Structure 1
Amino acid sequence: MAQDRVCVGAIAGAFGVKGEVRLKSFCTDPGAIAGYGPLWTEDGRRSFDIRITRAVTNGLAARLSGVATKEDADALKGVQLYADRSRLPGLPDDEFYHADLIGLAVFDTGGTALGTVRAIHNHGAGDILEIHAPGRREALLLPFTQAAVPTVDVAAGRIVADPPEADE
């Protein structure tokens, strides 16, 4: 997938019997996803214009261009949707798109390599970086806070982290 696109949502399946989909938006303002279109599949082979029809439990109901039946909508379950980066709003200096953090090398404040960011999770209390390193059996999970991650340099491809001390 091209680096000039960012994942902004996913299709959770059909909603009703008339071709609507249940849409999970990964945007700060969930409804803003419709304004970033057309949205693309990860492989870039299909694109969709989106019209939000209403809010539903755990997401939004939406109409996608080219999706007319429940079967069409069901076939898209699990498909992630990507927006052209140029259509997304700019971010302040201390905010980042998750896509920009994945793959960055992570070093401690002394310069020792800790690993590479493989994923970012958020279970409601803030973002958590999942960091993997060769030879380490388990991932290092690090809160993505100013105290734990004082420096992010996307252009240089590196993060400086100050992990909290482990309890003995």
Structure 2
Amino acid sequence: RAKASIGYIPDRPYLYEKLSGAEFLRFVAGLWGRNGNGTEHRANRLLELFQLRDRQDDLIESYSHGMRQKLLITSALVHEPELIVVDEPMVGLDPRSAKILKDLFRTYADHGGTVFLSTHTLEVAEALCDHIAIINKGRIIARGTMDELRTQAEAGSAGLEEIFLKVTGAGELEHVLGASEALAG
């Protein structure tokens, strides 16, 4: 039951390549016992949103990396999970699809869903996340809202990138920047 309430989007889209996109979505929906008109309608809306509807009957092996990522995203959302676990979701996405995905995540969270996002793209985390944990060398070293992180890091109105560098050892970065300036000069 718990697994059925989770949608997972890995950073690499491993899919059953000998299935069509539509077959794959029916397969995934069936795993969660969600075959039916409502699920099919939701799948079709997501396919349309991510501009895959006209390719849904093509074999996945013919899809580009970005198309596979969009199909994987669709498969994670098709059964309307309570929690979405996401690892580097923007990899391979065109700017339009990345914007759609960010809007979907924000809307999903605003309506009571939970999105657990792992990313190295700090601008995405800052824009999307209500709560952020900064992990360094496998340990959480800071966590909270952006305002709480700013307070913890004594970082004024800094953005997440600046906070991250400060709490993980910005002195190292300043050393690297100084070395690169010396090379340029």
The question of a shared fold, defined as TM-score above 0.5 by the shorter chain, is answered with no
Which structure has more strand as a fraction of its residues? Answer: 1
TM-score, length-scaled by structure 2? 0.28
Bigger Rg, structure 1 or 2? 2
TM-score, length-scaled by structure 1? 0.30
